[in-house]
Structure formats: structure tokens, C-alpha cells
Structure 1
Amino acid sequence: MSKSVAIVIGNPLVNMELPYPSDEGLQGVELILDDAEAILAEGASEKGFSGFAAGDWVSYTLLAKQGACSPLGDHAALRAAMSDSSLKQPRFVVLEEGADVPAVVSVLNPPLLIRKGLDERYVEYLEDVSLAVNQLRKVLPEEDRVVVEEVVDGDGFSLYGFVSEDGFQLAGMVELEWYSGRGQYPMGLQCPAEMSEALRVDLIREAQEIVSLLDEFRGHLRMDFVVRDDVPYIKTIDPCIISSWMPVDLLGLSGAYPLWKNVLRFAAGEPYLSADEKTYRAAVLRWVSAGSGEVASVMGVDVAEKIEGVTCVRMRIQPGDRLRHAVDMRERDRVGYVVAEGDTIGEARAIAHRAADAIRIETNIVIESTEFK
């Protein structure tokens, strides 16, 4: 083993469900489930490790600020860098502190995405932009700039892979199933992605050009695209960490590149594992939806688990928890999901939808009292 590395996890929502392997090839990697900031403050040598690697966004952000990994997540900087390339991206504006928000965003056509750091809000009307911007500025670091961009309607795809000195190597592609109501966010994922060979070639070429703009970045990436009229528009670029909001073993279920193992092997300085040569099965993930309010009951989980083809049912809520609308990215991740597999995408999707529909979440309306003085 070339080095001993600790994978730091600071997000309590993912601590109990990491697909951490125990095979001999990863003996030099240890998982630390604790407060990321406190661990990183002590330093690697005091802990007996040659270095730390991020297991979730909390740890990644801290490591990037300390210079321990390549910073990636400044959406404004990425959009600006891509503006000088041949890459297609939505029309956008960057809101500087003190900007006249209504005046700046008036050049855009709604609906819009308001993005800051790792979070985003969907708005349908220009007059709602200021409220969404203020909400994000309250909950995210001041140094993160706000980007407002037009929503591109189309099919969604995510490319997973890693960046080394030799460039970008594709790990796998996942197709996104959009939420059927308001807003553009995924409520389902399927692998392998269904697309033409020409589109596949275009997406890989786009990914390679994106990597050329990332300077010294080394590691795993997820790139989200929206394809409209056969033209890919880049939506998001994120480092692919092992506690990603998409369970990283979805690719593995379909027989694709063993991504989650390679995230750890990369941190430990070990060689990558290649994909198995076999006929891939289809795998589909479907988020469970719930109304906003206080959770009264969660029913049907046992029914969903018994459905043939269901490989995973994961619920993260319990009676008494309070839920916001699923358009909130972190809220959607928190409720739960099901994963199913089948011989075809259609079969796996039908199983996943059936399992998700079997789960019933009852919520009570919560009225916040306001005291006037």
C-alpha cells in the first residue's frame, strides 16, 4: 500500500450506509465517522495517517480550503471558465454582493435556477428571485457567489469518471428521470443510460473539454448534462465522493465500472480496477416522495422490500420529523429511496416505481406561530 489514508465523513445522514469495502486491497484506508472539522484540525500525522480524503461534501469543503484537495464547487468560477470554451451552457448572470437583483436578472427568461455553492432553488417568476437569493445567502458561506441561470428543458444524463495525468476516463453514465411537477430535479436514476452512439460520443468529448479547464484537479468527477435537440448543455460539475446523494453502487449493480471502490483506491494511491466484462443488467433508483409537514407515519416499507427485483429500500425519516418541499435538494435526499434491477431499463423502472408507490408517508400540516410585538 503506497499510503495510509483516512476517509473523513462529517455528514450524519450518510454515516450508516457507506458501501465501505473490507477486501485486502484497501487495508490502508480507514473510515472516520466523526466531526470533520475537529478531525482535520488535529492534522493527519497526529492521527497516524499520511493524508485525509473527503467522504462527503462537509469534509471536501474543509479539505479544499486547507489546500488538501483541489477546490471544486465555485459554480460562478466554473461558468466563467466555460464561457471561453466551445461548451454549451445555459444563459446566466453572477450576482455580486450589493447588486440590484431585479435589474441584473431581468435579461434572463424564467424559469430559473438560483445556485450558490452546492445548493440551488428553482423559481418560476422573476419577482421571486430576490427571496430565493436571500434564502441561500442565509444558509451558505458568504464567500460563495450566487449564480442565476435559465433552465434548459431536455433529457438529463450524469457522467461518472476520474481525472488523472492521462486525462478523463469514463466510469459510467446514468440517465435522470425528472420530477413531473414544478422544478427541474431528478426523482429517478437509471443505468445504463439509454442514448444514441452519436450522443454518447458528444458527451464524452464534452467531458474531456471540461477536464481541460480544471487545471490541476485529480480525482473522481460527476458531470450533469441536459440534452435538448441533441445538443448537450453542461449543468453541474461535482467531485464524486463516496457518500454522494446518488448511491455510488448504482453503477455497480448494472455491472459498470466499480466506482465506489476506485474512489477509495484513488485516495490510497492504489491502481484502478477496470469494469467487469459481462452483460450488464439494468438498475434504477427512485426517490420516495412525501408532502411537507410533520411526519405522522411511514408505512409500506416491508411491502416494498418483498417486491421481486428490489435490491435496496432506504428510509431516513421517522414520525416527528419535519419535511420541506422536495425541490430542496437536501430534503429530497433525506426522505428515502428504493433501488431495483431487471433485465431491461423498462422492467427495472417499473419495479422501482411499484416499490416507491408502496411506501406511504403521512404528514400533518405545521403552522408556525408568529408573535407580534
Structure 2
Amino acid sequence: MKSASTALRQLLSSVFAAAAALAVGIVCIGLSGFPAKASLRTMLVGAAGSSQAWAATLNEVVPLVLVALAWIVAIRAGRINIGFQGQMLGGAMCATVVGIYLPTGGSHVGLVAAVIASSLGGAVLSGLAAALAHWRGVPEIISTLLMSFMMVQVVAWAIRGPLNEPHQSLPQTSPVRSGARWPTLISETPLHYDILLSIGLACVVAWALRSTTFGWRARMSGDNPEAAQHVGINTSTVGIVAMLLSGGLAGIAGGSLVLSSLLGNLVDGVDGGFGLEGIAVALLAGNSAIACIPAAILLAGVDQGGALTEANLAVPSALVGIVQGLVIVAVAAAANLRTGVIRRTWLTIRDALPNRATVRSAREVTQ
């Protein structure tokens, strides 16, 4: 009963923070000479004013939830994975290759294979970063970020070269086969069955981190590595497994952006910026796997509503961005006051960065 009342208070505080920030943002729009009431109404309609709007919002929830889960799995084990863009691109490219070239007939075997391939594509990149950290001492926060830059160029080369659609001058691949695509959940909407996969994975991650041996070891390794080693936990192995799982989840997110898209092909910028927005979702959720679902709905609704406001009322994108930023910051601040998650995350990132002594020693070795 106590936990239920606590959860209710947390939910109400987040809702109040979001409503207050939205009100301030709308006032800013009004002071800039644009219709405040119409902007608020358009933003709400764009987020959840119709079945199409709800479907578009929930469709955006899928990659946000999956990337948020990827962040949570890594951060619980004390690992900083910020290369979700690259891992999403790796997953998207692997899913595209399997979806195009694997003969599937009329079954959904191709979809299962493409999802598995997308997971492996992301896991390979995060696993490489974990291996560099374990054997060469390269911080994951650096290697994962640099791999994202690399994957942007790899995808750009692939869709203009070996994967380019035949007889097509545009930088894109051929569409994946119909048997490898996510089926539509609600007809004539952009919502597909991958929304159920993302919710199911959120439940699995929450259960695994709370109720399994690996989850306990991951939490011990992240909260107190010295104590974990003292009780016999191999923190390096736990960290590598956590990074592999994190990259796999990000890869599935990237694959879904191809397998549930309208045309079903790989193009430039397919990641859509979800790699960074997913981290924001995780922080809004207090690094809770279940809470990242409503946090993702909030962020996706703000994105969808802001886009419609910009299109219908010609409100500048800068003003829309201010409103979106105010909502995110307000909810994050409310969550941080309750749990201190932002401060704990910052301390984890600070500890993962190389200190001055390490940099000095590395320079002396190279000289």
C-alpha cells in the first residue's frame, strides 16, 4: 500500500511539473506574438487528439523505450554507453541486409531473423567497446561515441555503394521483403506490433534487474564495485555482458525503424536522433525500466504535438524546442528531487572518465 501511494505521488509530481512547464512554454509563445490558446490546443491534438495522433505518438515510443532500456541495463552495471546512435545504425543495417536477401516466403521467419540480426548488429559494436575497456583500458564513454561517428559513415557508404537500390540514384537500399516487416497493429496508422515487443522487453528488463542473479550482480557492480569484487563477483564479466545486452537493445531499436517504416528501406539519418532522446527518457524515468514507458509517451507526445504546432501555426521551431525543453527539464528536475538519479548518473560518468593521472601516465608511455 505504501509503495502504491509513493508511486502515485511520484506520478502526480511529474504530471504537475510537466503541466507547469507546458504553461510557461505556452506563455512564451504568446509573448512572441503567436496565438497561445491555439498553440496549446494544436499541441495537445497533435499528441493525442485522434487515433492517428495516438498511433504516431506510440510509434515514436518504440525506439525511445528500447534505447532507454539499453541505457538502464548498462548504467545499472556501472557502464556508460552513449553510442546508441551507432548501435542503432548497426542494427538497422543488419536488419536491412537480412530483410532484403534472406528468402522467407510468406511466413514471418524473416521478421524474427531480421530482429535477431539487428540485435547482433548492435551487440557487436557495444561488445567491441566493452572489450577495449577490459583489455586496453579504453573508457566505454569514449569508444562508443567514436563508433557512432564511424557507423554514420559506414551506413552512408553502404547505401550509396553495395546496398544501393538497383537503378536508383537516391542514397537508399531496396525495400525489405514483406515477410520481414512488422505487421500493422491498427490498420491505416503507423503503429506496428513492435510496440508490444518494446513493452514486453521493458517488463523483462525490470524483472531481470530485480529478481535474477545477473540483475543482483549488475546492481552490485554498479553501486559498489569494490564490495562486489569482495564477495566474488567478476565485475568485468558482468560489465561486458551488460554492454552486450545494452547494444542488443539499441540494435533492435534501429532495426524497428527500418522494419516498421513506410517504405522499409535504409536511408541516411534513419536513427532519427533517438539515441540521445532515449537517454533523456531513462533519466526522466529515474532509470526505471517500467517507468520509461510513460516517460517515453510524454516525450513522444511533446515531439508530435510540437511538430503539428510548427506546421499548422507557423510557430518557429526554436519556440517549439523551448517548450519541449522546458517540459523535459521540469520532469527531470522533479524526478531528481525524489531519487537523485541525475546526480548518481553524473557521478558514474565522472568515475568512468579518465583522470589526469591516467592521461599523464599514457602520455609518458607514448613519449
Q: TM-score band, normalised by the shorter chain?
A: under 0.3
Higher relative contact order (CA 8 A, sep 6+): 2
Q: More helix by proportion, 1 or 2?
A: 2
Q: More strand by proportion, 1 or 2?
A: 1
Give the TM-score normalised by the residue count of structure 1.
0.23
